[in-house]
Amino acid sequence: MTNWIFSQFNIGDSVDFQGPIGECFYTSADPNCQINLIGTGTGAAPLIGILKDALKSGHKGAIVFYHGASAIEGLYLHDELLEIERNNNNFSYRPCLSSEDLTESDPKINHGYCNEIALNEITASSETLLFLCGNPDMVNQTRKKAFLAGIASKNIYVDPFEYRDLRKVPR
């Protein structure tokens, strides 16, 4: 959206917003289940909300957040997530960089695609919850692979960041 605002939006233009839609939000139905959050780029934003809701609600099960970006700058809120991890024994933050030209030497940073790293680490069970947000290709491919690995489809929540023109009257 930022690119569109800077390249095509003009002073005086109007914008129509629609409220949040989707299925990515925390419910405390089972406070002991494992929660896995996988997001690319700005897909981290709704996942951070889910994380904070779960912790505030007293979630006791393991929560693991895999955030993927191509460069360190894309891991926004990196320091805040490290702090949340330090203060919560059941939360693990797994930052992932996919760029092949990496100079980052932080041992906390994983090298590779966040969804591939996550699928290699997640223990699939009927109680495992999986939240996927961000790049539509990543979300859709990971949903399928997670289901085939044994995560129940009812426990996979997705928010692919797709553009949809929801106006009733085109401009």
- What is the pLDDT averaged over residues 140-155? 95
Closest C-alpha among 160, 157, 120 to residue 35: 157
Instruction: Check whether 39 has a pLDDT greater than 70.
Output: yes
Strand stretches in the chain, DSSP E: 35-40, 63-69, 91-97, 110-111, 129-134, 156-160
Cα-trace Rg, the chain: 17
pLDDT of residue 121: 95
> Residue 124: pLDDT band by 50, 70, 90 thresholds?
confident
* DSSP for residue 169: S
For residue 55, the model assigns a pLDDT of: 97
- So what's the pLDDT on residue 3? 75
Measured distance CA(30)–CA(125) in Å, rounded: 14
Q: Are 24 and 159 in contact (CB under 8 A)?
A: yes
For residues 112 and 100, the model is more confident at 112
Provide mean pLDDT across the span 42-63: 94
With pLDDT > 90 as the criterion, what percentage of the chain qualifies? 58
